[in-house]
Amino acid sequence: MSLQPVLINGTWRAAQSTGTFKSEDPATGTPLPYDFPISSWADIDAALTAASSAAAALRTVPVTTIGKFLSRYAERMEARAAELSETANKESGLARSPRLADVELPRTTGQLRQAATAAIEGSWSAPTIDTKANIRSHLAACGPVAVFGPNNFPFAFNSAAGGDFAAAIAAGCPVIAKANTSHPRTTQLLAEEAFAASQDTGLPAATVQLLYRTGHDDGAKFVADRRLGASAYTGSRSAGLKLKAAADAAGIPIYLELSSVNPVLMLPGALTERLQKCIDEFVDSSLLGAGQFCTNPSIVFLLASDLTEQFISGVKAKFEARPVAPLLSNNVCKALTSSVQILQKAGAKLITGGTAQGPGYRFAHTLLRVDGDAFVQHAEALQTEAFGNAALVVVCKDAAQLAACINAFEGNLTGCAYSDTNGSDDALYNQVVPLLRPKVGRLLNDKMPTGVAVSPAMNHGGPYPSTGHAGFTAVGIPASMRRFGNLHCFDNVRPHRLPAILQNTNPVNGEKKAWRQVDGSWTQGDIAS
């Protein structure tokens, strides 16, 4: 057995390991050939020391070089696309097409290129200049960032390639990637290309480092280490909250994306107007990627009616007819089984599905229902995230009960309202959506939440417990970069000692100059000296 190497301080070297693990093909349950190390604290410690030096060095690297690295990495990823998609498919069970090769990989390289542009352009850092007081401030790289990627996007949220990685690097922070243990080989290949791109463009050796797995206590010690500027974690709520407790106690910011049931309010007029479309859009979104999206619409609220019964039976029929794809791992399958049991214990009735099935790790498409009274009474249990291809329908007797349900919501990434186009739902919309709005990061109309556009206006975030801080987004350049900036103010600092972006002459780095807030107005111009 030869263990795959970790990447620390520019060297692919043997880990100081406390154990090993393998990934599996979830479509068959077969272990994959590579053995990966579980790193001891010694590996984490070495990575943190190297990252500290890299962070200091990166502060003097021109933003154009950081931009070149991100673009070069995107090119390298594209050159290795076939092997990456093949590997990610084996480790995740997700289809090469339409998904890994033709959707997720282009999204990932597109995100890296957007990050490159934003790093070079500089507006992300909110340069603010008060010329009268001669006080100037901007967001500056916070230091090394530990990224813990999730299982469900082997490329787009990968700890060595995805949104958090791109945002941290673009903000000027070295990344210590902790691979998701369900796709270590995919992460290794990505980190190879990231590291090669960093060498191609002359970045510090420890700009990108990779560990595959750590012990739980070492993970907590990692995010609480004072050499770290911040952490970004996407994954299960229980593991995330342990990291949050450790990081919070040490005062090191941690950005978490934990869990979300993404409620959908299907108002009566929408069903009257377009029942089949409502069914189709819900089913497609609900079963996309076997339901393994952070923004999966897991709970639908409707008012009791014949049309609501038709909606439910329509969804049931489609759930039963649609082929069942493998889940990401045995762990996902076990957690889904357990969550569906929790929902049932809390009063939800099974309409279809509810059991694991082979080959590999699959679960029958599952639909449950419960009434609004029960939801209000057992709101916490009935908001258990059933990560995967399961959904709960809540049938409310009237608008007041729907409002009571919404008032019992926890924080969510998204909330949707479907309504008709002729205004008959407007009164109900105006009654209930103001209750929903503060509970969710992204409010949608007549559209399912699974698509998360990489847009400057996107919010992939929301109130606790969907994330750890409702002021930030994990998707969308440049907004997601702000998580990795510390506010640096310069008071009466001599002109030649200021960062370029705060000097009177607005520097030209890329195609356009940064927008700067100068004396209360936003401008790309220079300041008269």
Catalytic residue among 257, 281, 385, 410: 257
269 binds a copy of itself (CB under 8 A): no
429 binds a copy of itself (CB under 8 A): yes
Residues in 124-153 at the binding interface with a copy of itself, rule: CB under 8 A: 128-130, 133, 135-137, 139-140, 142-143
Is the bond into 478 cis (omega within 30 degrees of 0)? yes
List 95, 196, 364, 493, residue binding a copy of itself (CB under 8 A): 493
Dihedral angle sign, alpha carbons of residues 432, 434, 439, 443: positive
Binding span for a copy of itself by CB under 8 A among 42-50, 171-179, 390-398, 479-487: 479-487
Token pair for 503: 């000097």
Kindly state the number of chain residues that form the binding site for a copy of itself, as judged by CB under 8 A.
71
Catalytic residue among 142, 294, 333, 416: 294
Q: How many CB atoms lie within 10 A of CB 241?
A: 16
Token pair for 375: 């939801």
List 321, 358, 494, 528, residue binding a copy of itself (CB under 8 A): 494
Largest CA distance in the chain: 73
DSSP per position, 315-335: HHHHHHHSPPPPPS-HHHHHH
In the complex, the smallest distance separating the C-beta of residue 327 from a copy of itself, rounded to whole angstroms, is 27
List 199, 482, 507, 510, residue binding a copy of itself (CB under 8 A): 482
Binding span for a copy of itself by CB under 8 A among 7-15, 24-32, 92-100, 426-434: 426-434
In the complex, the smallest distance separating the C-beta of residue 136 from a copy of itself, rounded to whole angstroms, is 5
Label residues 265-300 b or e (16+ Cβ within 10 Å = b). bbbbbbbebbbeebbebbbebbbbbbbbbbbbbbbb
| CB of 37 or CB of 253, closer to a copy of itself | 253
Active site residue 257: yes
Give the three-state DSSP class for 491.
strand
In the complex, the smallest distance separating the C-beta of residue 107 from a copy of itself, rounded to whole angstroms, is 14
Do residues 147 and 178 touch, judged by C-beta distance below 8 A?
Answer: yes
Residues in 497-526 at the binding interface with a copy of itself, rule: CB under 8 A: 497, 515, 517, 520-522
Do residues 482 and 469 touch, judged by C-beta distance below 8 A?
Answer: no
Distance between CA atoms of residues 283 and 303, nearest Å: 19
Distance between CA atoms of residues 513 and 462, nearest Å: 31
Name the nearest CA neighbour of 338 among 238, 196, 453, 476.
238
Residues in 39-98 at the binding interface with a copy of itself, rule: CB under 8 A: 56, 59
196 binds a copy of itself (CB under 8 A): no
Label residues 81-99 b or e (16+ Cβ within 10 Å = b). beebbebbbbbbbbbbeeb
| CB of 134 or CB of 276, closer to a copy of itself | 134
Residues in 216-255 at the binding interface with a copy of itself, rule: CB under 8 A: 244-245, 248-253
Residues in 320-339 at the binding interface with a copy of itself, rule: CB under 8 A: none
| CB of 196 or CB of 250, closer to a copy of itself | 250
Distance between CA atoms of residues 213 and 234, nearest Å: 15
Residues in 388-417 at the binding interface with a copy of itself, rule: CB under 8 A: 411, 414
List 198, 286, 339, 473, residue binding a copy of itself (CB under 8 A): 473
Active site residue 294: yes
Distance between CA atoms of residues 338 and 316, nearest Å: 21
In the complex, the smallest distance separating the C-beta of residue 178 from a copy of itself, rounded to whole angstroms, is 22
| CB of 311 or CB of 484, closer to a copy of itself | 484
Give the three-state DSSP class for 64.
helix
> Taking CB under 8 A as the rule, which mask of x and - marks residues 173-192 in contact with a copy of itself?
--------------------
In the complex, the smallest distance separating the C-beta of residue 143 from a copy of itself, rounded to whole angstroms, is 7
Catalytic residue numbers read: 257, 294
